[in-house]
Amino acid sequence: MSKTEPEFNHLPIGENTGKICDMSYIKESFGEKNNLIIEIIDTFISQVSEELLTINDAVEKIDFKTIRSTAHKMKTSVSIMGISSIKPILVEMEITGESDSDIKKLSELNHKLNSLCSQAIAEITAEKQNFC
Amino acid sequence: MKAKKQIRIFIVDDNNVFAHVLKADIQTAFAEMKIDISTFGTGEKCLEALKTESPHMVILDYHLDGRNAEAANGIKILDQIKKEKPETYVIMLTGEDNIDIALKSFKHGASDYVVKTDTQFRKIIYSLFNLLRLMSAKNEALRYKRMVMAISLGVAMLIGGTIAIEIIYPDFFVV
pLDDT by residue for chain A (132 residues), tens only, comes to 445 555 444 444 444 567 899 988 898 888 888 999 999 999 999 999 999 999 999 999 999 999 998 998 899 899 999 999 999 999 999 999 888 778 999 999 999 999 999 999 999 999 999 888
pLDDT of residue A8: 41
Q: Is B29 in contact with A8 (Cβ distance < 8 A)?
A: no
**Spatial contact of A16 and A70, defined as CB atoms under 8 Å apart:** no
Q: How many CB pairs under 8 A join A and B?
A: 65
Q: Answer yes or no: is A107 within a domain.
A: yes
* A102 SS3 class: coil
CB contact under 8 A, A5 and B14: no
Chain B partners of A44 at a C-beta cutoff of 8 Å? 17
What's the pLDDT score for residue B117? 78
Q: What pLDDT sits at residue B23? A: 95
Q: How confident is the model at residue B72 (pLDDT cuts 50, 70, 90)?
A: low
Q: What are the Cα distances from residue A35, in Å, to A39, B6, B23, B78?
A: 6, 25, 14, 33
- Higher local confidence (pLDDT), A56 or B73: A56
Tell me what the mean pLDDT of segment B52-63 comes to: 94
Global confidence as pTM:
0.82
| List of chain B residues whose C-beta atoms are within 8 Å of the C-beta of residue A39 | 20
Range of the domain at A72: 24-131
Phi/psi of residue B114, each to 5°? -125, 130
Q: Helix/strand/coil (H, E, C) string of B64-128?
A: CCCCCCCCCCHHHHHHHHHHHCCCCEEEEEECCCCHHHHHHHHHCCCCEEEECCCCHHHHHHHHH
Q: What is the pLDDT of residue A12?
A: 43
B62 close to B73: Cβ distance less than 8 angstroms: yes
B97-151 pLDDT, tens per residue? 788 888 999 999 999 999 987 778 889 999 999 999 999 999 899 999 999 999 9
Under 8 Å between Cβ of B85 and B150 = no
Name the residue facing B95 among A29, A39, A72 (closest C-beta): A72
A40 and B116 in contact by Cβ < 8 A?
no
Interface of B with A (CB under 8 A): 14-18, 20-21, 24-25, 28-29, 63, 66-67, 95, 116, 118-122, 125
In a domain, A63, yes or no: yes
Number of domains, chain A: 1
Give the side-chain half-sphere CA count within 13 A for B109: 20
Does residue A77 sit within a domain?
yes
Q: Report the length, in residues, of chain A.
A: 132
Dihedral sign of CA atoms A88, A90, A95, A96 in order: positive
Does the ipTM exceed 0.85?
A: no
Question: Looking at residue A2, what is its pLDDT?
Answer: 47
For residues B5 and A74, which has the higher predicted lDDT (pLDDT)?
A: A74
Q: What's the pLDDT score for residue A54? A: 95
Ordered by start, the domain boundaries in chain B are 7-137
Q: What is the average per-residue pLDDT within B60-85?
A: 82
Q: How many residues does chain B have?
A: 175
CATH code for the domain of A93: 1.20.120.160
Q: Give me the CATH topology for the region B7-137.
A: Rossmann fold (3.40.50)
Contacts of B116 in chain A (CB under 8 A): 76
Q: In chain A, what residues touch B17 (CB-CB under 8 Å)?
A: 40, 43-44, 47, 76-77, 80-81
Residue contact A72–B66, C-beta within 8 A: yes
